[in-house]
A and B are shown apart, each in its own frame.
Chain A
């Protein structure tokens, strides 16, 4: 069965640079969620989209923005990167609110 696809899987950036993370949800899934998992921590909700509209917002810094496109893929844009942004970023998707299926994550390292 098709799963959530995230790219890139690994990303290394320097402080103050920008990064774009991409998420391709499971086909026909209508909702996308973004989570951030710092080292040794539990995942924290950032933002979600339902049918291409922002549906909820968590502890997402103002330096971050996200959107969902007409083909339902989503992108998380991160600017002015800080060392503390180093984390595993997950995208998850669901269909009609049933379950949340996670992608493999993007490991971002800021140096």
Chain B
């Protein structure tokens, strides 16, 4: 059974500072993908970044980077230069069966972390 754990219910960061949101996962499938989504108070789910289990390098997308430590089964999201608009709920999710970045499998989500950016 797959499992995603986000141990930080809430995080606070000062504007323009960097912040790391933690995510650990558990799976016996060697092929999997890890996702991060942002959910603002308006409710939509916004895709941020993806990391495949066979990817050698950490994924980056603009101010977002994923600190992938496979042996520790962690996939932490790093947001650099935080902005007020980054205040939202952040979900880590995993999909099993990813082969070369593709899978038709479902996402399993963690409990989420609420990030608050202070001016």
Residues of A within 8 A of B (CB): 31, 33, 35, 42-45, 48, 50, 55-56, 58, 88, 90, 92, 94, 96-105, 107
Contacts and interface: CB of A to CB of B under 8 A. Distances in A.
Contacts of A44: 109
6 contacts: A45-B106, A45-B108, A48-B104, A56-B106, A97-B102, A99-B50
Chain B contact residues (Cβ within 8 angstroms of A): what range? Answer: 20 to 34
Contacts of A99: 47, 50
Contacts of B108: 45
Given A45-B108, A94-B104, A100-B35, 8 more contacts: A42-B112, A43-B45, A43-B109, A97-B102, A97-B103, A99-B47, A105-B44, A105-B45
Interface in B90-119: 91, 95, 101-112
B42 to A, nearest CB: 8
